[in-house]
Structure 1
């Protein structure tokens, strides 16, 4: 059996291939893609900004899929829920080795032997495709019966990333003030989690009116456009939250100049959590003295653990009727239209684009 897949042959060269669909290995699963999320990091991978990849690769690391076949010995998901063909699942796309120091001593991701991509000609878990082949050891979780696939896909890997960031760097406490730089999916996820945690103010900086509107719908109390100069943005924020400044600032912009601004914005005794600068390779100057005189903590997080995907799935399901999560999916594209989806994501026009294999 053959299926279509969007293959990145080299930077900026995307092709649609017919690839062989393999039966699952023992302990694994074969799923048909229902929705494959388009992530900002895919844009960095496409352009080469994220570094050299093991080309050719099938793009897509966010997915909701339907179980087609279960490998030998598989009768439940990775949370012990009974599973059968036809059930919908959501998976953690990082292939961990489970036999290294990071996996078994530190309990951290990624591990020393993490595999992010497989050669496009081999069984593959990329989600810009008709099918995804989930190897033994790649955790996947069954969607609750009432879960809306769009609500789960809307924040794809972004909600697990935000949960990972707060887990590693300190959660938002009731009454704290929060600033989020960027209102792409990671920023919107941070807004959602901060608002649900009881933050007194959640302030968002983003250049897109559409994304600022989405941030408000998820719980932002104030949004500021990039047409406002940085010094004026700072004044507006400090006027609102008080002279001590924000308790928490979250970088979710994915652009290097956000970093020094974020350090400057973070208030006394505050935390600056860096989540979006995975793909933007480079440096930016900051004043080390600021870290001392403001008693500042700067921390970063990347590559959510499997538990963060499980938490994200159930948080999205719990909130889907109260918060317009499914409505964040603004654009759908077929497998052969992945280039258009990435272009729209890069431009910031889309709140969330997804690959829908039913579109031809």
Structure 2
């Protein structure tokens, strides 16, 4: 059996490069050679331990775009029924679902009671900070159209499926509604893109980085507000001046910072909706004013762990808009598997728009 490289988290803040076995695909599985693996902000929370204790050792990475190396004998199509063959590029939903529990069967929802997000690094693995990813039976994957650039898909990684799920759970967007996005990392930028393509009116983005705000404008933001140059009161006044006295119809939390939550509740307008997407890794508590939820008739929804259909939707969306929206240019930094630690540090310090692991380096 041959071996290949993988970036393995063996303990908090301890990432090593391992030589791991390259397994044969299961009869209903696929072996994929990773082309790019996106570096997600949640990876940084996982590495530091902020997101809780992980089942060490684990291969990092859950944003994979790869080329089919070997097909299981029972596989002829992807999970949308599209024929696949060796050499095709695919994008996978990185949660191993059981497909036989209440959440899977009755609720049709993710994650399920028996979901596996990681596999032990000594076993066949679907982590994308690696040369190869082993997709087990039941793990949905989708063929990427030939004209789609892998970087365009990796640019928004799991963030775009997350944004699609968040808007869906909150009831979608109606034409000309106003949207405020807290944070212009990949999740926030994905929310901007989805809002723009959905026909939103005002799309206002809050962030502390001018570079990120500039990127948000390139994806459809109609206005931006600098955290560095404003107080919470100023931001509220500026945003309501743009949206009108009833305030924003939708506020999206994509900051991943606890302090954003009470401010988001302040910002959301009458009869508005607050979609919480970025606080998955920010464990803790913070005071809020529950009265505002009643007096403004606010709906709050949270969303995480997108369904396979949201990964499929991401492929279709990117295929449609990559030539008109500068998605590939969002990938500002590439790192080798051996430099995964540096990639994670770049994410933590906010020095990148989007970093990827490139196994060819």
Matched, 1:41 2:46: no
Match of 2:90 in 1: 89
Please name the residue that 1:57 is paired with.
58
Q: Which residue of 1 aligns with 2:73?
A: 72
- Taking the aligned partners of 1:349 and 1:237, their CA distance within structure 2 comes to 27
Q: How much has 1:273 moved relative to structure 2?
A: 0.3
Tell me how far apart the structure 2 counterparts of residues 312 and 327 of structure 1 sit (CA, whole Å): 17
Deviation at 1:225, TM superposition (A): 1.2
Deviation at 1:148, TM superposition (A): 1.0
> Residue 347 of structure 1: CA displacement?
1.0
Q: What's the offset of the Cα at 1:107?
A: 0.5
**Aligned match of 2:351 in 328, 332, 349?**
349
Q: How does 1:152-301 map to 2 (within 5 A)?
A: 152-227=153-228, 228-301=230-303
Deviations 1:315-351 (A, max 9, x none): 0110000000011001000000011111111111110
CA deviations 1:142-166 (Å, max 9, x no partner) are 0111111111110110000000001
Distance 2:286 2:109 in 1: 27
Unaligned runs of 5+ residues in structure 2 are none
Number of aligned pairs? 359
CA–CA distance in 2 between the matches of 1:284 and 1:269?
23
- Aligned residue for 1:144? 145
Summarize deviations over 1:171-228 as a string: whole Å, max 9, x none: 1111110000000000000000001111110000011111111100000011111111
Q: Unpaired segments of 5 or more residues in structure 1?
A: none
Mapped to 2, the partners of 1:261 and 1:291 lie a distance apart of 13
Looking at structure 1, the residues matched to 126 and 105 of structure 2 have their Cα atoms a distance apart, in angstroms, of 24
Q: What is the deviation of 1:288? A: 1.1
3-state SS in 2 of match to 1:33: strand
**Aligned residue for 2:26?**
25
Give structure 1 regions of 4+ aligned residues with deviation exceeding 3 angstroms.
none
C-alpha displacement of 1:79:
0.7
Per-residue CA shift, 1:203-262, capped at 9, x if unaligned?
000111111111000000111111111111111101111111000000000010000000
Deviation of 1:167 (Å): 1.1
Report the TM-score, using the length of structure 2 for normalisation. Answer: 0.99
- Per-residue deviation, 1:122: 0.5
What is the CA–CA distance in structure 2 between the aligned matches of 1:188 and 1:92, rounded to whole Å?
20
C-alpha separation in 2, matches of 1:123 and 1:207: 41
Q: State the distance in 2 between where 1:280 and 1:271 align.
A: 21
Shift of 1:13: 0.4
TM-score by length of 1: 0.99
